[in-house]
Chains A and B, each alone.
Chain A
């Protein structure tokens, strides 16, 4: 089992819809969770971090964390074509120095 797992997609949603991205992780003791957005040919950009159970909202983005079920999700409301990118879930596992990244979910927002 990989440390961090994501559905690779592609996930397609129409413009204006809600995009839901999911991520599961292996270490129940993980404390820090991050979502990155990566456009094709570019480096990842941090868009959300979450540390506590529940929801965290930032503009059109909402991160949801459920430590008991070991999943973290990202909701994008009112999806725009500019949201089309690969979204990477990252988890700090076992107090390691580095983050463990999922393979990413490719999102396409259709105009």
Chain B
């Protein structure tokens, strides 16, 4: 149990375009989902916390207008990187929390902006 999927697993896009990443909890309901970013050889950086049916809470320094998060249901959250630039290239990972407060991570999405 406790499986979280992400789609796509990797994406290459041109500078200035937008990219949407989906995160789904497959076998449990997740009232809270989290979005992380990880650069090579660095630790996880929490970008935002997403609660179902409400606005996401962004960490300091994360532009909410650039990283749009929608958590429309208990099993789906989406992250849209708008007007992507090469510096947005990174490994984006979502996680979902179950009722025992255990967090399960999706497999991640590797974004490359050219």
Binding site for B on A (CB under 8 A): 32, 34, 36, 41-46, 49, 88, 90, 92, 97-99, 101-104
Contacts and interface: CB of A to CB of B under 8 A. Distances in A.
A34 B97 CA distance: 13
Nearest to B105: A43
Contacts, number: 41
9 contacts: A36-B105, A42-B107, A43-B93, A43-B108, A46-B103, A49-B100, A49-B102, A98-B49, A99-B103
B32 interface: yes
B102 A46 contact: yes
Contact of A43 (B2, B46, B100, B106): B106
B26 interface: no
Contact of A32 (B2, B43, B101): B101
Query: Which range holds the interface residue count of chain B?
Result: 20 to 34
Nearest to B45: A101
A80 B93 CA distance: 27
Contacts of A104: 43
Contacts of B108: 42-43
Interface in B47-105: 49, 51, 57, 91, 93, 100-105
B3 to A, nearest CB: 11
A40 B101 CA distance: 25
A92 B101 contact: yes
B44 interface: yes
A34 B102 contact: yes
A34 B103 contact: yes
Contacts of A46: 2, 102-105
A36 B43 CA distance: 12
B53 to A, nearest CB: 15
Contacts of A49: 100, 102
B66 to A, nearest CB: 20
Among B43, B91, B93, B108, chain A packs the most CB atoms within 10 A around the CB of B43
Q: Which 8 A-B pairs have CB atoms at the shortest separation, nearest pair first?
A: A43-B108, A103-B43, A43-B105, A43-B93, A44-B105, A97-B49, A32-B101, A101-B44
